[in-house]
Structure 1
Amino acid sequence: MNGWLGLLLLILACLGLLWAFRVRGSMLQLAGTALLFGAAGYAALGSPQVPSSPRSAEQRTPPIPLTNLRHAFYGNFGPTEHWLLISESLARRGKTEEAAGVLQSAVREHPGDPALWVGLGNALADHANTITPASELAFRRANELAPGYPAPRFFYGLALARSGDSKDAVAIWREILAEAPANASWRPFVEDAVAALDRPQQKPQDATGS
């Protein structure tokens, strides 16, 4: 994962935490602006375009938790929430194979729950450290179960971005924004995801206006 993707996940995780504490509306947008301002400073002083060095399984850090971001789309409570929390707890400890296994069992018991399929897609992508046919299938199943709802497509885009395909990720997120109500509570997360990945692609003369 290169610096930009790590930065994107940190921004989304921070916004998810704010959302969990019921920060909404203009305050959430202000927080997002502050985070993006900090990202701009990192872009100016750091080297986010440089890929990180490959690590062994023992050296690999656990995935950044997506719990708060998931709650922004699906809420904090649900009949299958305990499965997701167990899986995410295992992932935070670096046990990504076990995390995926928990959700594979969960979707067998609850095949009609789109949030579980999204969680499985995330867990499989975390375990492989890239998007895979199995994770794509999980996201596709979630989308079939909840046609028109943005969460499956958003997390599929995030998995693409984490796999290095920022262009397709941004395209998916822009489609979501084009369809989203202006007052959707999760809209700022999608907007900030687009801003975090789309800004580095601008040419220098675009940024300076020359």
Structure 2
Amino acid sequence: MSWLPILILALAAFVIAAWLLHLPKSGWALFGAALVFGLAGYALQGSPGYAGAPTENAPVASANSEAIVEARRDFFGRDRVPSRWVTVADGFARNGQFEDSANMLRNAVDENPDDIEAWVALGNALIEHANGSLTPAALYAFAEAEKVQPGHPAPAYFLGVGLLRSGKPMETRAIWAELLENAPEGAEWAAPLQDRLTRLDELLAQMGGPVPVVEQ
């Protein structure tokens, strides 16, 4: 195994946190330093030439953990108080304890299957617990959220984030572009999403990939 996939993963994590999830610039240095120290630690103790094996790791909080929670809250309004389960789950998520967060959120949807924010949060927690992989369980959670409130932007948006983290930026772009095309007039989330789509297009252009043109 070469170092290239590891470096690409680190760069992708920074891009998602800094641009797509709008991590404040004041946190860029801290998040970047965390990535650098992580890579340095892996260089000293890791074995990139050997096949991977499951290990028990302590959860690590990061700026990205906070950004994921805050980005989801933006879609549901700051004046809307989430359920007690979601509130506790967010605390776990902010500390990098995504398995515990997912367990709390399963309680939330068991108690109230119509809690769209809990379903979206569950999808996000499952992706993070799987180290960025869009698992079947996460897909199910986003699908259930869409069933609860068809047309709500959050399930599709975070499905796009999951696809991006799974190495499928063009599928992410298609979902986000469709969201913008169908956005109701005056939607508060449309402008930030347009900004993230623009940044994704810039990233795709830098990578040399085709960027489809969407008529405005």
Length-normalised TM-score, structure 2: 0.69
* Secondary structure at the counterpart of residue 78 of structure 2: coil
Counterpart residue number, 1:193: 196
Output one character per residue of 1:105-134: Cα deviation in whole Å (capped at 9) or x when no partner. Answer: 110001111111001000111111111000
Among residues 165, 171, 176, which one is paired with 1:173 in the alignment? 176
Identity %: 33
Is the aligned partner of 1:147 residue 2:147? Answer: no
Q: State how far apart, in whole Å, the 2-side matches of 1:71 and 1:2 are.
A: 25
* Secondary structure at the counterpart of residue 65 of structure 2: coil
Counterpart residue number, 2:16: 8
- Do the aligned partners of 2:160 and 2:172 also contact (CA within 8 Å) in 1? yes
Amino acid of the structure 1 residue aligned with 2:159? Y
Q: State how far apart, in whole Å, the 1-side matches of 2:172 and 2:21 are.
A: 18
- Do the aligned partners of 1:90 and 1:98 also contact (CA within 8 Å) in 2? yes
Q: CA deviation at 1:164?
A: 1.6
Output one character per residue of 1:128-179: Cα deviation in whole Å (capped at 9) or x when no partner. Answer: 1111000000000001111111111001111111222111111100000111
Map 1:58-137 → 2, pairs under 5 A: 58=58, 62=62, 63-65=64-66, 66-78=68-80, 80-129=82-131, 130-137=133-140
Is the aligned partner of 1:161 residue 2:164? Answer: yes
Amino acid of the structure 2 residue aligned with 1:6? F
Counterpart residue number, 2:35: none
Counterpart residue number, 1:46: none
Q: State how far apart, in whole Å, the 2-side matches of 1:194 and 1:201 are.
A: 10
Q: State how far apart, in whole Å, the 2-side matches of 1:83 and 1:111 are.
A: 13
Q: CA deviation at 1:201?
A: 1.8
Q: Which has the higher contact order (CA 8 A, sep 6+)?
A: 1
- Do the aligned partners of 1:10 and 1:64 also contact (CA within 8 Å) in 2? no
Amino acid of the structure 2 residue aligned with 1:110? N
Q: 1:59 to 1:118 in 2, by over 3 A?
A: closer
* Secondary structure at the counterpart of residue 191 of structure 2: helix
Instruction: Give the number of equivalent residue pairs.
Output: 173
Q: State how far apart, in whole Å, the 1-side matches of 2:59 and 2:148 are.
A: 37
Q: CA deviation at 1:61?
A: 5.1
Counterpart residue number, 1:138: 141
Q: State how far apart, in whole Å, the 2-side matches of 1:59 and 1:83 are.
A: 20
Q: CA deviation at 1:82?
A: 3.0
Amino acid of the structure 1 residue aligned with 2:203? P
Q: State how far apart, in whole Å, the 2-side matches of 1:81 and 1:139 are.
A: 18
* Secondary structure at the counterpart of residue 148 of structure 1: coil
Q: State how far apart, in whole Å, the 2-side matches of 1:200 and 1:78 are.
A: 34
RMSD: 2.9
Q: CA deviation at 1:182?
A: 4.3
